[in-house]
Amino acid sequence: MRQTMQAIRQTAVQLLAAMGASVLSMTAAASVEIEHWQTSKGTDVYYVGAQQLPMVDIELRFDAGSARDGDAHGLAAMTNRLLGTATPKLDETAIAQGFNQLGAQFGQSAGRDSATLSLRTLTRDRLYEPAVDLFEQLLVEAVFRPEILTREKARLEVAIKQKATQPPALASMALWSRLYGDHPYAHPTEGTLASLDTLTRDRLQAFYDRYYVARNAQITIVGDLSRAEAEALAERLTQRLPAGNRPEPIPAVQTVAQPGKAVTEFDATQTQIMLATLGVKRGDPDYYALFLGNHLLGGSGFASLLMEEVREKRGLVYGVSSGFIPMRQAGPFMIRLSTQNAKAYEALDVVEATLKGFMDGFSDEKLEAIKSNLIGGFPLRLDSNGKIAGYVSMIGFYDLPLDYLDAFPKKIAALDKQAVLQAWQKRMTFDQATRILVGQPQ
Amino acid sequence: MTATRRHFNQAWWFLGWLSAIWLFSSLAQASLHTAELDNGMRVIIKEDHRSPVAVQQVWYRVGSNFEHSGRTGLSHMLEHMMFKGTKTRGPGEFSDIVSRLGGQDNAFTSRDYTAYYQVIGAQHLETMMALEADRMRNIDISDEHFQTERDVVAEERRWRTEDRPSSKLYELFRATAFINSPQHHPVIGWMSDIQNWTLEDVQAWYKRWYAPNNATLVVVGDVDPEQVLDWAQTYYGQHAPETIEPPKPQVEMPQNGERRMTLKAATHTPELLMGFHVPSLVTAKDASEVYALAVLNHILDGDDSARLTTELVNQSKLNSAASWYDSTSRWESLFTLNATPKQGQSLDEVEQLLWAQIERLKTELISETDFQRVLAQAEAQHVYHQDSIQAQARLLGMLASLNLPLDTYDNWAKNLRQVTPEDVRAVARKYLKADKATYAHLYPNGEDVSRKAPPAGGMH
């Protein structure tokens, strides 16, 4: 479509100097040029032009996740779910047909920090124009029909009851609840059986009016639009949105609510195991060192220590991994695995020993190998519009610098073993960790 | 509509190559190049210069449909053992090298093929090709590593199937729908078979199927095709072909009368599967039936305008409903429907609602609006598909492994366009018959699902 600018240009990256002699034969890395501005209504826009394919990904992201539920657990998710089901002029069938006959894909999602509406469409005028019109209409003219709410609550009830029979889901719910206690991150995003009755039409309408407003929104655009077209699109999507205001910050998280061990008996062949504690906020300066350390500990599949000890040496699991979920406030750090019931405590012991060994130190050689993986693998994180859109949206939502992607491999390259160990020892204490087992552990 | 910015100079290209036969593709994308090495290995290269990244995949024509009773799952176990070292590389060394170079590597096994892949900075492609070619013929594994990995696969089966009632139901459903063809068996194998494989079983399976003339190399990304073919010749070209004995036909016997099975497991929600034997692009005498079935599937469940959503779920008649159809199975395929009831609704009632939808397809012709929607979606999907180099490589490798034309997907929308409403009604009448149906019902284990049932969201 029309005027172009390369999204991903190949640039020589000055990494080798920073890395020392041995590691890389890398000569080129992907680079993403993010442009940022505000619409006249005060909505932040993040744009990357990518003209190779005649398509565009558009996402509106609101600070309207389940952390904003208040006492109506599941409110954010249900409000998001019902957007796109009705407007004063269109019913559910007409809306679905409207997108589908254009080959456009409309999407919704709700997490703890945010909720999104998204559109992927071809950029040929006769398809793009009506798809964007419909998208805008759903956003600003949402109607919450009681019969659809009743139906979706019935389906949610079935889903919640079904989750109570799935050990991985039980372990995950226990993790959030035990780490966060009374904090708004604690409850499941979709709510609970007990909170279903609080999801009334009036509450949904009020939530929509409060949070789906221009100053509480950001727009991400990646694809075959020029800067001028992207500006016009962003204006069009926000023109009819009320300006509104940003909500108060989500409260900080202080300590793990329930440390210790929790066993839930469940009739299954495997035990689901999680070892978790509080991690960090998105944007934390220590995150690079923690992330690099985690990549070595359990974040990189077969290259990680946990996989080597628990699977490769002992055959105890199919998969074991560790990871941070950085959020607006401190998100979880967790190690998760599942093994046959008879080996559950043996596997947990190996995990604990591996973690302790890692916190005490690791070989420089392993660290260099994992740095090399992260730096050399960076272009793989940016090799499609879909992946780029995900990163750009994250950068915008968490107020990260626009050169975050370019800077990331350089920050990693600059870290040595001492820096990684210091960050882990300073920030990650496991005496307050919680251990969750679901199954019949022996 | 093409994904590439750089077009290929055909004449110059052709002169550059003598030792391998290049076929200039007549496909929609000028960036696609195909060749066959002297030893019979197929080579498929697709340029995509959007990012400095390449994916290599090597596909072997072997999977669970090639296996025999008592040794089911062997293809998948062999896939695991391919990471355990060769005569010159230690266990895990392959993945260590890929990791140090910033790549990602893994493998997958299906019913009809086994594939290995690496995604990596394009400058490292040659290293990947050398490593992958090495393990095509040279794996060397100890019994100790075999025993440990067998335990890993047993855990994989527990994780993937044993503790997931819906997965288990699907496994038993297929075993009911297919009696004498190899599709009876699950890809991962039955647990008793897993626990009794030997190192010799795996070694024999490797020797029998892993040879250049039973393999396809696919490379997609920021590459120079001439250079890639040169490396393919250097590394894969060194292996001699083997005599590959194709599996026996094992044609599934005709089904006369419905089949039913039930499973009780740790679930809250009952579930229904319902399936009918149908042809695939590989097995069909008349490919137009396959395209008609694809349209039929889209009418039922292609998107949220499709009938299972708009007429059953949105109208609160069912909790969920879906259908799918694997149009590229090497053996006979299944047209499958899946649904869960509302609270208190019986599975018999669910069946009746699905049957009403099938009856409608047999009596009413689909509308022009519905048909145009199917076509619009197919055309848009074809563009979206090109956003991922891995998805592109995977599609090409699959088509090659099934001996289907590489432009099958490029011509997909065009072929759907040839389908008439009468064709859709005809395949519904021909294949979706009561006497040809297989049903699987999942029920909760009574009240005692979780032995100390926790309140939702809480633990003890």
The rounded mean pLDDT for chain A is: 92
Are B169 and B272 found together in one domain?
Answer: no
Does B454 map to a domain?
Answer: no
Region label for A311, one of left (φ > 0), alpha (ψ between -120 and 50) or beta (otherwise): alpha
* pLDDT value at residue B9: 29
Residues A3-21, mean pLDDT to the nearest whole number: 30
pLDDT of B362 over the 80 cut: yes
ipTM: 0.86
Report the C-alpha gap between A46 and B149 in whole angstroms. Answer: 47
**What phi and psi values does residue A57 have, to the nearest 5 degrees?**
-105, 125
Q: Which of B186, B203, B235 is the last residue of a domain?
A: B235
Are B30 and B124 found together in one domain?
Answer: yes
Does B254 map to a domain?
Answer: no
Are B186 and B285 found together in one domain?
Answer: no
Listed range (A129-133, A197-201, A413-417, B450-454) with the worst mean pLDDT: B450-454
Are B221 and B263 found together in one domain?
Answer: no
Report the C-alpha gap between B183 and B208 in whole angstroms. Answer: 20
Does B264 map to a domain?
Answer: yes
CB contact under 8 A, B340 and A158: yes
pLDDT of A91 over the 60 cut: yes
Report the C-alpha gap between A41 and A62 in whole angstroms. Answer: 15
**In this structure, what is the dihedral angle of CA atoms B5, B10, B14, B16, given to the nearest 10 degrees?**
-50
* Structure confidence by residue, pLDDT tens digits, A325-336: 999 999 999 999
Note whether A317 and B156 are within 8 A (CB).
no
pLDDT of B189 over the 70 cut: yes
* pLDDT value at residue A25: 33
Does B160 map to a domain?
Answer: yes
As annotated, the active-site residues of B are: 79
Are B78 and B175 found together in one domain?
Answer: yes
We report the CATH number of the domain holding residue B101 as 3.30.830.10
Are B265 and B207 found together in one domain?
Answer: no
Q: Which of B180, B203, B235 is the last residue of a domain?
A: B235
CB contact under 8 A, B3 and A52: yes
Does B241 map to a domain?
Answer: no
Contacts of B243 (CB under 8 A, 6+ apart): none
Residues B178-206, mean pLDDT to the nearest whole number: 96
Residue A269 has which token pair? 């062949």
CB contact under 8 A, A384 and B454: no
Number of domains present in the structure of chain B: 2
Is the torsion defined by CA of A192, A196, A197, A202 positive or negative?
Answer: positive
Report the C-alpha gap between B206 and B197 in whole angstroms. Answer: 14
> Burial level of A46, CB count in 10 A (0-12/13-18/19+)?
buried
Question: For residue A124, what is the nearest residue in chain B, using CA coordinates?
Answer: B380
Are B29 and B113 found together in one domain?
Answer: yes
pLDDT bucket at A19, cuts 50 / 70 / 90: very low
Are B349 and B206 found together in one domain?
Answer: no
Nearest CA-CA partner of B273 in B282, B263, B281? B263
Residue A225 has which token pair? 């639009």
Report the C-alpha gap between B306 and B300 in whole angstroms. Answer: 5
CB contact under 8 A, B99 and A270: no
**Cα Rg of chain A, angstroms:** 23
Does B242 map to a domain?
Answer: no
* pLDDT value at residue B30: 57
Nearest CA-CA partner of A26 in B101, B54, B227? B101
Are B332 and B410 found together in one domain?
Answer: yes
CB contact under 8 A, B148 and A270: no
C-alpha dist (Å) from residue B126 to A23, B56, B98, B120, B223:
18, 10, 12, 11, 11
Are B277 and B224 found together in one domain?
Answer: no
Q: Report the residue of B6, B51, B76 to disrupt the A interface, i.e. the one with the largest count of A CBs within 10 Å.
A: B51
Question: For residue B369, what is the nearest residue in chain A, using CA coordinates?
Answer: A101
pTM: 0.89
Ordered by where they begin, the domains of chain A are 34-238 (3.30.830.10), 260-439 (3.30.830.10)
* Structure confidence by residue, pLDDT tens digits, A362-384: 999 999 999 999 999 998 999 99
pLDDT bucket at A45, cuts 50 / 70 / 90: very high
> What domain range includes position B118?
10-235
* pLDDT value at residue B31: 87
Question: For residue B317, what is the nearest residue in chain A, using CA coordinates?
Answer: A151
Question: For residue B268, what is the nearest residue in chain A, using CA coordinates?
Answer: A162
Are B77 and B143 found together in one domain?
Answer: yes
Minimum distance, in Å, between the CA of residue A365 and any CA atom of chain B: 11
Identify residue A433 by its one-letter amino acid code.
Answer: A
State the angle between helix axes of B368-385 and B389-401 in degrees (0 to 180), rounded to the nearest 10.
110
Residues on chain A touching B303 (C-beta within 8 angstroms): 96, 100
> Burial level of B149, CB count in 10 A (0-12/13-18/19+)?
buried
Listed range (A64-68, A301-305, A422-426) with the worst mean pLDDT: A301-305
* pLDDT value at residue A31: 75
Nearest CA-CA partner of A76 in A211, A197, A242, A185? A211
Most confident of A212-221, A363-372, B373-382: A212-221
Does B5 map to a domain?
Answer: no
The percentage of chain A sitting over the pLDDT mark of 90, rounded to a whole number, equals: 90
CB contact under 8 A, B148 and A312: yes
pLDDT of B12 over the 60 cut: no
Q: Report the residue of B94, B119, B163, B386 to disrupt the A interface, i.e. the one with the largest count of A CBs within 10 Å.
A: B163
Q: Which residues pair with B32 in a beta bridge?
A: B46
* Structure confidence by residue, pLDDT tens digits, B201-241: 999 999 999 999 999 999 999 999 999 999 999 999 999 99
Specify the DSSP element, H or E, that contains B24: strand B21-24
Are B225 and B264 found together in one domain?
Answer: no
Report the C-alpha gap between B354 and B337 in whole angstroms. Answer: 8
